[in-house]
Structure 1
Amino acid sequence: MTNEGTDDTRPQTVPEGIPLLDAESRLPKNDPPELLIITGMSGAGRSRTAAALEDLDWYVVDNLPPRMLAALARMMTPAEGGVHRLAAVVDVRSREFFADLVSVLDQLRMQGTDYRIVFLDAADDELVRRYESVRRPHPLQGEGRLLDGIAEERQLLAHLRRRADVLIDTTDLSVHDLARKVREVVAGEGDRPLRLTVVSFGFKYGLPLDADHVVDVRFLTNPYWVTELRHLTGRDEQVRDYVLGLEGAEEFADRYVDAIAPVLDGYINELKPFVTIAVGCTGGKHRSVAMTEAIAERLRDRGQSVRTLHRDLGRE
């Protein structure tokens, strides 16, 4: 029974309305699992590729016997917190097990598992130079020459090279160039933003061990000698206003952030993910705390991801 003036588009009863409500509900979207198979010539950069992916939060398995690929792929899940981005390094180090790889790849396709093959390669002369620099034998060299092992490996991997979805020639790439290419071409993430930590500290307790840059603000008048401020900290408005109101304090914070901007750009270019800026005063309670917050605020205004930490606060 329908009352006059009611909206007929709405469900009349709760049971009848459940399908409509279910249809309108938005389920959380999870990215589909991603499987990368990293392979290629020994010495061409497989390990560096794996490390670059691990830095991007991929789950990486090195020197995996191919037979275990299918089982590992079935363990992947799109759910948050599960393994949904898996990179497996598979190469001739697995010796006789490596012969199973082609059939395993076909099996993965048959069971509906999508994957990409990333093949790392380099010129023979560059591979020889790299092996000689680390003074290690090629895994297929045996009693022969280094070039014999490289030639045999090329023959074994020829079919995989043809099947590769991504081919990276590392002959002229530095380790940083390779990591950058993996981020851009393989993971599709490009340069990640820096994660900055600005930490206050007291010089009398020692420098932070992980500091990349140290800022000394002991040139500012110490609020400790102001009776009304002594019991407060740089987090309190009265102390913050006092410190930043001192001659040159605001200008120092502005100029410091201007000066460090090209340094941070360089860190991004060199793939340095974490940077710690340590701001120190005598005890780490007043000046350094207020200046830490001021510098962090200016860095955030420039689009940086910044957290603050006050190491020695409450230590006195």
Structure 2
Amino acid sequence: MPTQPGELVIITGMTGAGRSTASKELEDLGYFVVDNLPPTLVPDVVRMVDEAHGVTRPIAVVADVRSGTFFDSLAAQRYEMSTGRPSTIVYLDASDDELVRRQEAVRRPHPLQGAGRLLDGLERERVVLEQIRGIADLVIDTTGLNVHQLTDRIATHFGSREARKLKITVISFGFKYGIPVDADYVADMRFLPNPHWVPELKPKTGQDVDVAKYVKSQPAAETFLDGYLPVLQLVAGGYLNEGKRFMTVAVGCTGGKHRSVAMSEEIARRLAATGQDVRTTHRDLGRE
């Protein structure tokens, strides 16, 4: 049997978005991790690891704007690196307000700040990273995530060496808290009757049986599911054909408590029944 080479993960994204946290988690998962590596040197690192540890040892490389002009080659290297390893680009992002708060907490200047403000550095960095974000396989918005939540997301995506499959995350959210920026598809459940206005259901959530039954028993809910699931399955197949292995489906309602939670669970259940690798997360559950 031929030896299956280990995965090559390129970690990039905004300064303060959690690159160090992600790389440390991958190291704990058994990856050979190299921080702040110019992208042009990635093939050399792969050859070194192949010789020292064998081709099955997975590798993670942190590449960011600290590499200066060397970083500009990352987009080109994405498809030209002849490493013989399956590769994934992970892009970590967060809101400017969150990034400013984190940078001020550690009292470190932004690498592109120069003599200007911290926000000036963030603005320049977003311009530099725009092309990379567009080709990333996995985008994680770390706004509002703590260290443990981010490490859990990384472990979920990279903690097993199973055959390469599309990993689908169905996330419920409340529109009043903002749309998840890492969503590939967004579904709006506000067209369904709101259990919030049913006294006996108001204090409960979409994870409760009676709330879920109320939401899913609406004729419009079944019509939506019958039409939406084939679309997701079609897109999932296309993602695999294009070499993408992650898809995030966001399902929203007003507060992220009733309708979006119940419908997220049902969408995930139906996708799993077709053999998809699916997980659910409820971003705003408990905020009300």
TM-score (norm 2): 0.52
Partner of residue 133 from structure 1, selected from 105, 110, 128: 105
Residue correspondence of structure 1 range 146-165 to structure 2 within 5 A? 146-165=118-137
> C-alpha displacement at 1:107, in angstroms?
1.6
Q: What does residue range 93-242 of structure 1 map to in structure 2 within 5 Å?
A: 93-108=66-81, 112-188=84-160
Aligned counterparts of 1:172 and 1:111: Cα–Cα separation in 2? 36
Judge conservation of contact 2:5–2:86 (CA < 8 Å) in 1.
no
Separation in 2 of the partners of 1:112 and 1:32? Answer: 7
SS where residue 152 of structure 2 aligns?
Answer: helix
Residue 61 (1) aligns with residue 11 (2): no
How many residues align? The count is: 162
Q: How much has 1:80 moved relative to structure 2? A: 7.2
- Is 1:48 aligned to residue 21 of structure 2? yes
Amino-acid identity (%): 50
Per-residue Cα deviation, 1:120-174 (whole angstroms, up to 9, x for no partner): 0000000000011111100000011100100110111011111111111111110
Q: Identify if the C-alpha distance between structure 1 residues 112 and 58 changes in structure 2 by more than 3 Å, giving closer, same or farther.
A: closer
Query: What displacement does 1:31 show?
Result: 3.2
Does 1:31 pair with 2:4?
yes
Whose Rg is larger?
1
Aligned-pair CA distance for 1:111: 6.2
- Residue 73 of structure 2 aligns with an amino acid whose one-letter code is D
**How far apart are 1:57 and its partner, in Å?**
1.0
1:71, CA displacement in angstroms?
Answer: 1.9
Alpha-carbon contact 2:10-2:60 (below 8 Å) kept: yes
Matches of 1:144 and 1:75 in 2, distance apart? 40
Corresponding residue number in structure 2 for 1:280: none
Separation in 2, partners of 1:179, 1:88: 16
Task: Provide closer, same or farther for how the CA distance between residues 101 and 181 of structure 1 changes in structure 2, counting only shifts above 3 A.
Answer: same
2:12 & 2:37 partners in 1: Cα distance? Answer: 11
Q: Which has the higher contact order (CA 8 A, sep 6+)?
A: 2
Tell me the SS of whatever aligns to 1:137.
coil
8 Å CA contact 1:33–1:78 kept in 2: the answer is no
Please tell me whether the aligned partners of residues 4 and 56 of structure 2 are also in contact (alpha carbons under 8 angstroms): no
* Cα distance in 2 between the residues matched to 1:96 and 1:151: 17
Contact 1:33 1:76 in 2 (8 A): no
Q: Which runs of at least 4 in structure 1 moved beyond 4 Å after TM superposition?
A: 78-83, 110-113
Given residue 26 of structure 2, which amino acid in structure 1 is its aligned partner?
L
In structure 2, the partner of 1:71 is 44
Structure 1 residue 74: Cα displacement: 3.3
TM-score (norm 1): 0.48
Cα displacement (A) at 1:178? 0.5
Give 5+ residue unaligned stretches, structure 2. Answer: 162-288
Separation (CA, whole Å) in 2 of partners of 1:129 and 1:57: 31
Instruction: Give distance in 2, aligned partners of 1:107 and 1:157.
Output: 19
Displacement of 1:72 after TM fit? Answer: 1.9
SS at match of 1:139: coil
Deviations 1:152-200, CA, capped at 9 Å, x for gaps: 10111011111111111111110011111100023348xxxxxxxxxxx
RMSD between aligned alpha carbons? 2.4
Change (3 A) 1:32 1:133: same
The code of the aligned residue for 2:123 comes to A
Contact 1:31 1:78 in 2 (8 A): no
- Cα distance between partner residues in 2 of 1:83 and 1:75: 13
